């Protein structure tokens, strides 16, 4: 569609205003993280720029430990979700067996159970397993997902059935076919779902709050809350420095994978 210069100008004005409003809070946080507390309190524009707040955040708080924990937890959840949902999606697309449809509806049914509604017994299970303050307690409950299974199922369905038939004739078993053909062929969608999975795991809040009681496995999100509640008398520069650090990995990931996510999630959501 061709736009006249006037219309273009209108669109640019709208886009720029919107962009400013959307990016505003994050931009403000970034600017504040480089400002001295003096400047913040007086509400002036930054007079000096320094990294002091970042030093403070890392030295006064075990932020590095939180960061590492979040990485481990997010990577483990991502891998767990990818493996389990890829296996399940394969069964739903390529295998035929009795009860498959029933199990498929069972997977759908899991989408109707919000995690928050079953959080109490889940907490007790983790406690009874001795998984409080352990990576396992933070990760294992999230490995099985219906959403991931559907997303990958959608992608596997686009792989020609003939590939499997050709392998059957050549004497290649299902697991080998899954490993050697399906996974490499659908790596784009695996990456897409992996990004999404990492993003949501990194940003988890309620569960890490419940199952971590000390710094050993505590994630950055809970760390930030600690930072915010413990930091004496509104040292906002340090708090913002912490917030900026924890959104950095996800923002980078989002910027890199935005196109893929947009395409992948729309397909998974609507087909």
Partner 1 sequence: MSQVELIDITKSYDKQKDVLNGINLSIEEGEFFVLVGPSGSGKSTLLRMIAGLEEISGGFLKINDQTVNHLPPKERNLSMVFQNYALYPHLTVEQNILFGLKARKVEKREQQIRLMEAAEMLGLTELLKRKPRELSGGQRQRVALGRSVVSHAPLCLMDEPLSNLDAKLRANMRVQIRRLQKQLGLTMIYVTHDQVEAMTMGDRIMVLNEGKIQQVGKPITLYNEPENLFVASFIGSPKMNLGNAAFFADGNHLIIENQLHISIDPDVIMGVPKDRNLKVGIRAEHLFPGESKKDHIHHLEAVNVEQLGNETLIAFEVGSELWTAKWPGQWTIEFGQKVPVQILPQYLLFFDVETGQLIQSADIGKLREVVTI
Partner 2 sequence: MRMANSALEANETFMYQVERVKKKNRKLSFIKGMLFLLPSLILFSVFLFYPMLKTIYLSFFLTDAKGATTVFVGWDNYKEIFTDSVFLKGMKNTFLFVFYTVPLTVIISLFLTVIANEKLKGIGVFRTIFSSTMGVSVAAASVFWLYLFNPTMGLLNKFLELLGAESIGWLTDPDWALFAVSVTTIWMNIGFTFLILLGGLQSIDSSLYESADIEGSSYFYKLRRITIPMLSPTLFFVITVSIINAFQTFGQIDILTQGGPANETNLIVYSIYREAFVNYQFGSASAQAIVLFIFILLMTALQFKLGERRVHYQ
Binding site for partner 1 (CB under 8 A): 160, 162-163, 165-172, 176, 181, 184-185
Q: For residue 67, how far is the Cα from the chain centroid?
A: 14
Which partner from the list partner 2, partner 1, none does 48 bind, CB cut-off 5 to 8 Å by kind?
A: none
Q: What is the CA radius of gyration of the chain?
A: 23
CB 183 → partner 1: shortest distance, Å? 9
**Of residues 60, 59, 34, the one with CA closest to residue 45:** 34
CB count within 10 Å of CB 142 equals: 20
CB 221 → partner 1: shortest distance, Å? 37
Which of 166, 269 has the CB closer to partner 1?
A: 166
Which of 66, 178 has the CB closer to partner 1?
A: 178
Distance CA 219, CA 246 (A): 10
Which partner from the list partner 2, partner 1, none does 158 bind, CB cut-off 5 to 8 Å by kind?
A: none
Q: Are the beta carbons of 198 and 253 closer than 8 angstroms?
A: yes
Which partner from the list partner 1, partner 2, none does 179 bind, CB cut-off 5 to 8 Å by kind?
A: none
CB 177 → partner 1: shortest distance, Å? 9
CB 216 → partner 2: shortest distance, Å? 19
Which of 166, 248 has the CB closer to partner 2?
A: 248
C-alpha distance from residue 214 to each of 55, 62, 128 (Å): 22, 11, 18
Which of 119, 183 has the CB closer to partner 1?
A: 183
Which partner from the list partner 2, partner 1, none does 176 bind, CB cut-off 5 to 8 Å by kind?
A: partner 1
Q: Is the dihedral of CA 107, 113, 116, 118 positive or negative?
A: negative
- Please count the residues of the chain: 271
Which partner from the list partner 1, partner 2, none does 162 bind, CB cut-off 5 to 8 Å by kind?
A: partner 1
Q: Which DSSP string do the residues of 95-118 spell out, in sequence order? A: ---TTHHHHHHHHHHHTTS-GGGG
């Amino acid at each position: 569609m061709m736009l006249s210069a006037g219309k273009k100008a209108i669109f640019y004005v709208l886009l720029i205003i919107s962009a400013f409003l959307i990016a505003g809070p994050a931009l403000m946080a970034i600017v504040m993280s480089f400002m001295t507390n003096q400047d913040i309190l007086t509400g002036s524009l930054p007079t000096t720029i320094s990294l002091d707040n970042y030093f403070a955040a890392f030295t006064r708080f075990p932020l590095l430990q939180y960061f590492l924990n979040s990485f481990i937890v997010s990577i483990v959840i991502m891998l767990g979700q990818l493996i389990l949902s890829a296996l399940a999606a394969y069964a739903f697309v390529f295998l035929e067996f009795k009860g498959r449809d029933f199990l498929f509806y069972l997977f759908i049914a899991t989408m109707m159970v919000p995690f928050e509604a079953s959080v109490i017994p889940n907490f007790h299970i983790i406690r009874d397993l001795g998984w409080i303050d352990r990576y396992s307690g933070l990760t294992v409950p999230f490995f099985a997902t219906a959403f991931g299974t559907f997303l990958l199922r959608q992608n596997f369905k686009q792989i020609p059935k003939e590939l499997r038939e050709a392998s059957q004739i050549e004497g290649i078993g299902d697991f080998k076919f899954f490993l050697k053909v399906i996974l490499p062929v659908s790596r784009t969608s695996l990456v897409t779902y992996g990004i999404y999975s990492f993003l949501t795991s990194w940003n988890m809040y309620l569960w890490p709050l419940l199952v971590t009681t000390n710094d050993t496995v505590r994630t950055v999100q809970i760390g930030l809350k600690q930072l915010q509640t413990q930091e004496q008398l509104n040292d906002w520069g340090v708090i913002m420095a912490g917030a900026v650090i924890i959104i950095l990995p996800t923002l980078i990931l989002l910027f890199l994978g935005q196109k893929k996510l947009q395409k992948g999630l729309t397909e998974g959501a609507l087909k």
